[in-house]
Chain A
Amino acid sequence: MRSRIWALVARQFFVMRRSPMRIAEMVYWPLLDLLVWGFLSLYLNRLGHATPLPNFVAFFLGGLILWDLLFRSQQGISIAYLEEVWSRNLLNLFVSPLSVGEFLAATILISLMKLSVSVVVMTGLAAVFYGFNIFTMGWALAPFVAELLLMGWAIGIVTTALVLRFGQGAESLAWVLAFLFQPLSAVFYPVAVLPPALRAIAFCLPSSHVFEGMRAVIRTGRVDPRELAWAAVFDVAYMAIAIAFFYRTFALVKRLGLLAKTGE
């Protein structure tokens, strides 16, 4: 089992190590995000100097870096699948003894591998350009990061299932689906600013608890255990639903003969 998972990870590693474009892509968007939104937050911080919002830059850059983690963890999974579709290699994988569970585990590892590159770049640049060291928030942030990754992977698994079902016409979901959750995730503002109806929806998103929790860490230096717990509860639910959805979709595409068509 481990051999099969590592086979897929090795395949992505082989592609990446001789593809400067793929490596650049992992760095390019985080860099642009950080430059544009980082300088904007500095500017806004200066404008509101008379009554500055405490920790404005930290809130904003922390939110930006963590959102990027969620987006990239989702995208890592979807792109790992799409790479197989683009190279018409999907059937070779699914006529091997690779199981669906091993395939999903491998895409999660691949996502983690790509993510670590983006994180190193973003945290490094945030420190260089804005003197913002995300690690000053301490290890208190670590469980929130793990919860965000879980949510990103759950969205990535659902996205992949949808592309599997609806074909390459649906592949743009890999770039857009996570953003559906952004307005209600309270990335850059507290949940309290949302209208009551939307607050109820936001409550059901692990990400809203993570970003609220992050702001609490910045403000007080302490973890709010309730936010942590709610995020964990919803993460487990999201992950279970995503995996069940993937298995059902996989069975459906095999019944409809779509797997073979996707792979050719």
Chain B
Amino acid sequence: MTSPTPDFFSIFETLSRNKVDFIIVGGICGVLHGAPVTTFDLDIVHSRTQDNLARLLPALQELEAYYRGRQNQRLKPDLAHLSSPGHQLLMTRSGPLDLLGTIGSGRGYENLLPHSDEIEIGHLRLRVLSLEKLIEVKEEMGFEKDKAILPILRQTLLEKRKHRKPDS
């Protein structure tokens, strides 16, 4: 069976249209900050307030989201799943989407919000975790896969600082 080709913009567009509060983390966060890395899934930390979950669920239905890795079962996420601090690894019609209740040492949306930046992509305004915080979280997690990407993230941060204008 062929998997859908990831279309991250389409996922962002659907989440934004449904007014879902989320922060982009993981590899795509690195890419948006300018790190030359490749990733196949979109990782986001979503706000787990009841209001936000009530907006997230229809967005996921629109994206035809279901749990990955369950062979022919098409188990769909529900409110109980989405309110947990755990990770929901989903496939959507626009590619893989990981909804992370928390990352690192239990950091959720509210904790990460002050460490996020707003960026514009087309007509969308999206929140991404700051590059400094992304590096900190990946150092904290200490998985081999995270260690592999850290030199690139650190070097990207150095280059960004080197070329940052004094007033920016």
State yes or no: do A and B come from one complex.
Answer: no
- Tell me the A residues contacting B by CB distance below 8 Å: none
